[in-house]
């Protein structure tokens, strides 16, 4: 279940993820992965979170994070997503979003879900 804005409080853990649209690849080559990670480093100071672990797959990504402040972590990922969409559209001469839908985020507050992650 998606989280409410009120769930994003300091000290809370989240699983944040998204997939590519229409079975496209989010990351077509090594530099696409690097660009995505550079954008995280760029925007992290504006929406500080602790990134506990992450996985970048060719067609989706996963992040396990901890909120450092009450600034919702999804704001960080929204900034990254907009920059990444712009980059991919320019680089690969495409139009529109590259993500299947809205950013997915689940609060990690149960041990079973933590083990699953």
3-class SS at 51? strand
Residues 31-55: tens digit of each pLDDT: 999 999 999 999 999 888 999 999 9
Taking a C-beta distance cutoff of 8 angstroms, is the pair 73, 14 a contact? Answer: yes
Domains of the chain: 5-116 (3.30.70.1290)
User: Alpha-carbon distance 35 to 41, whole Å?
Assistant: 10
Mean pLDDT, residues 86-109: 93
Residues 52-90: tens digit of each pLDDT: 999 999 999 999 999 999 888 888 999 999 999 999 999
């Amino acid at each position: 279940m998606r989280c409410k804005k009120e769930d994003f409080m300091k000290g809370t853990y989240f699983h944040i993820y998204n997939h590519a649209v229409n079975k496209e690849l989010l990351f077509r080559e090594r530099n696409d992965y690097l660009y995505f990670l550079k954008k995280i480093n760029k925007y992290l100071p504006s929406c500080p979170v602790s990134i506990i672990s992450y996985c970048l797959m060719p067609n989706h990504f996963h992040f396990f994070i901890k909120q450092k402040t009450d600034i919702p972590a999804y704001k960080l990922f929204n900034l990254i997503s907009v920059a990444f969409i712009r980059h991919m559209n320019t680089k690969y001469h495409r139009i529109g979003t590259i993500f299947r839908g809205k950013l997915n985020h689940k609060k990690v507050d149960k041990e079973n879900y933590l083990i699953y992650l």
